[in-house]
């Protein structure tokens, strides 16, 4: 598996993966996906397996706060360490930019995702009522990330 920063040439593949990973009412439109990729402090890491993108993670940062916008892994590559590899890389990059706390939202009824985040030390902070289309609730979760790799404050 190879991890790298996404480039403009990856956009259509990222869009197709997002469409495959989420229900139509939750998956991003092309416009929304472009917006998040261009968000100030945004970064997208892709995981390649056999020369094809297996998944990606978009994060954003501002000052010492980070946010995971989305984590998408194609079904065929789930439970193979792709999500963990993406998350480790994203957290490392955020820490290198002095991020100390990372936040995300995940649907309260998405038990595999909740378990994934909990395994990686994300804790539930509360519920955001009606966060997703159709009135689905989401947990807000957060994790304190270890210090940046350079050891500087």
Joined together, the tokens standing for residue 94 give 């955020």
What is the distance of C-alpha 69 from the center of its chain? 5
The length of the chain, given as a count of residues: 153
Domain presence at residue 66: yes
**Domain boundaries, position 50:** 2-144
Domains held by the chain: number: 1
What pTM, to 2 d.p., does this model score? 0.91
pLDDT at 147: 64
Domain presence at residue 152: no
| Cβ contact 82:47 at 8 Å | yes
Joined together, the tokens standing for residue 36 give 């998040």
What does the pLDDT look like over 96-144, one tens digit per residue?
Answer: 999 999 999 999 999 999 999 999 999 999 999 999 888 889 999 999 9
């Amino acid at each position: 598996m190879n991890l790298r920063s996404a480039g403009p040439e990856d956009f259509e593949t990222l869009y197709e993966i997002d469409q495959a990973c989420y229900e139509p009412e939750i998956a991003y439109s092309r416009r929304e996906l472009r917006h998040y990729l261009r968000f100030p402090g945004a970064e997208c890491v892709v995981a390649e397996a056999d020369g094809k993108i297996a998944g990606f993670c978009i994060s954003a940062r501002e000052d010492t706060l980070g946010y995971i916008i989305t984590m998408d892994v194609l079904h065929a590559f789930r439970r193979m360490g792709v999500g963990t590899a993406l998350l480790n890389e994203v957290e490392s990059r955020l820490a290198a930019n002095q991020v100390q706390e990372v936040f995300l939202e995940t649907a309260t009824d998405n038990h595999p995702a909740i378990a994934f985040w909990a395994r990686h030390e994300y804790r539930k902070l509360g519920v955001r009522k009606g966060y997703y289309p159709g009135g689905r609730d989401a947990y807000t979760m957060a994790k304190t990330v270890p210090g940046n790799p350079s050891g500087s404050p």
